Every structure is written in C-alpha cells, then in structure tokens.
C-alpha cells in the first residue's frame, strides 16, 4: 500500500485535502476515482479525469503513483494571467506600480 495526498480546490480560497491508501501500482485515474470527488468519472471513464499535477508537474491519467505523492486537480483558468496583469496596471496607474513605485521625495527617476 502507498499513501497519496489528493488536493482539490473547487473555488477560490476553498481547498479540499484527502489522504488515501492505495495499492502499489495505482494510477492517477484510480486515485481520483477512489476520492469520489468527480462522480462523472464513474460513467465516462478516463475522459472525465480532471487535469492533474503531481507536486506541481503536469501528469496524465495513466501515470503510476508513488509513495508520498501529492496529486492536485487543476482548475481551468478563468482569465489569461497576462491580461489580468495588464488590467491591474491600468487600474493602478503607472505611478503606483512597478519596481520604482515608492521613491523618496526628491530622488532621481530610476533610483
């Protein structure tokens, strides 16, 4: 038996964590199936398996799990990170954003 930690965040600031004991040679798909967090997997099989990562590295449903792995379900991005940064910059303005945002009074620009 191996011990695997499953982590799933269905919404922002909500994290579900579960420790499972699975037989040696279990795959990512088997772990998600055992968690019962994704009921559609019972009927649809591997196609309904969520995008996953092990310790932050993307994985496939057929990858074999090892002792101590942390399996994470990945949510799809709702906003492109580059676009979100652009929007924050527009909202904050160029004076209050960036590396030199807090200058001493009378200091030269860029120092």
Report yes or no: 52 and 74 within 8 Å, Cβ to Cβ. Answer: yes
Give the tens place of pLDDT for each residue, 36-60: 776 655 666 566 567 888 998 999 8
Report yes or no: 16 and 7 within 8 Å, Cβ to Cβ. Answer: yes
Report yes or no: 31 and 50 within 8 Å, Cβ to Cβ. Answer: no
User: pTM of the predicted model, to two decimals?
Assistant: 0.62
List the domains of the chain with CATH numbers: 2-73 (3.10.20.30)
Give the tens place of pLDDT for each residue, 82-109: 988 888 888 776 555 566 566 677 776 6
């Amino acid at each position: 038996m191996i011990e695997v930690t499953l982590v799933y965040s269905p919404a922002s600031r909500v994290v579900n964590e579960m420790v499972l004991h699975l037989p040696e040679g279990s795959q990512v798909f088997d772990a998600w199936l055992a968690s019962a967090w994704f009921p559609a997997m019972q009927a649809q099989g591997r196609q309904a398996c969520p995008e996953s990562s092990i310790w932050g590295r993307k994985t496939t449903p057929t990858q074999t799990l090892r002792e101590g792995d942390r399996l994470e379900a990945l949510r799809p991005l709702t906003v492109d990170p580059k676009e979100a940064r652009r929007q924050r910059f527009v909202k904050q303005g160029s004076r209050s954003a960036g590396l030199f945002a807090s200058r001493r009074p009378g200091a030269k620009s860029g120092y």
